[in-house]
Amino acid sequence: MNREVTGLSSMATRPILADLCRHLGTAHGIPVRFTAAGGVETARQVREGAQADLLVLAEGALAALAQEGHLVPGTVRPLWVSQVVAAVPQGAPVPVLDRESDLCDALLTARRIAYSTGPSGTALVALIDRLGLTGPLGERLVQAPPGVPAGTLLSSGEADLAFQQHSELMDLPGVVVVGPLPAATAITSTFGAGVLTTSTAPDRAAEILDLFTSDAATSLARARGMRAAEAT
């Protein structure tokens, strides 16, 4: 019996994992299904004993769960690097982000700035603090609810500037991706995977995980705004 392999992931990798699952089903006849939620929520599920075969999360959260014994030793590996980009509502002026001063101007002129609960949000808040803008921006920073793309606050009119992983913003209706942050302020996140200790077929899960680093998987990731971790 070709048992379905299941996985848990954060929202940032949901698009690439959906593409990858379709590819594995078509090219290899392997049924794979991932359930996505906010990264914090997914980590909580793992800690509470959620049963699945594979886990895909930002490397920091993945490392913590591995240290706690939730992942099979030797199976954890980096997969993809994702860049944080800025976005604005469709029809709005598109800011230039060539230099750090451009980013500061965009932040200071925005009415409301949306960011996520994930690693990109944490990094953005730290960047704003480093730029000395925490005080001036104050309550204009709006954090999207867990599992909700920050870009949806653009289309709903709740924000006029948003920052999040490229993969989570690129296909949202009513949203225009401006591009990555200037070099000195660039934010990237590395996402990795491992076999969960709750897996009932860890050897099979490990074999499927190997396919996540194939040339086909790398091409699918590139189409979703990510690159292979080995390319960093």
Q: Is 88 helix (H, G, I), strand (E, B) or coil?
A: strand
Q: For residues 40-56, give the mean pLDDT.
A: 96
* pLDDT tens digits, 65-103: 999 999 999 999 999 999 999 999 999 999 999 999 999
CATH code for the domain defined by 5-80+191-231: 3.40.190.10
pLDDT band at 231; cut points 50, 70, 90: very low
Q: Which fold has domain 82-185?
A: D-Maltodextrin-Binding Protein; domain 2 (3.40.190)
How many Å apart are CA 153 and CA 1, to the nearest integer?
44
Q: Are 33 and 21 in contact (CB under 8 A)?
A: yes
- Identical fold for domains 5-80+191-231 and 82-185, yes or no, is yes
| pLDDT over 70 percentage in the chain | 98
What residue spans define the domains of the chain? 5-80+191-231, 82-185
pLDDT at 120: 86
pLDDT at 148: 85
Mean pLDDT taken over the chain: 93
pLDDT at 168 over 60: yes
pLDDT at 42 over 60: yes
pLDDT at 1: 47
pLDDT at 38: 84
Alpha helices, DSSP H only, in the chain?
A: 14-28, 39-47, 59-67, 100-109, 119-130, 134-137, 152-155, 166-169, 202-211, 215-223
Amino acid at 93: P
pLDDT at 51: 95
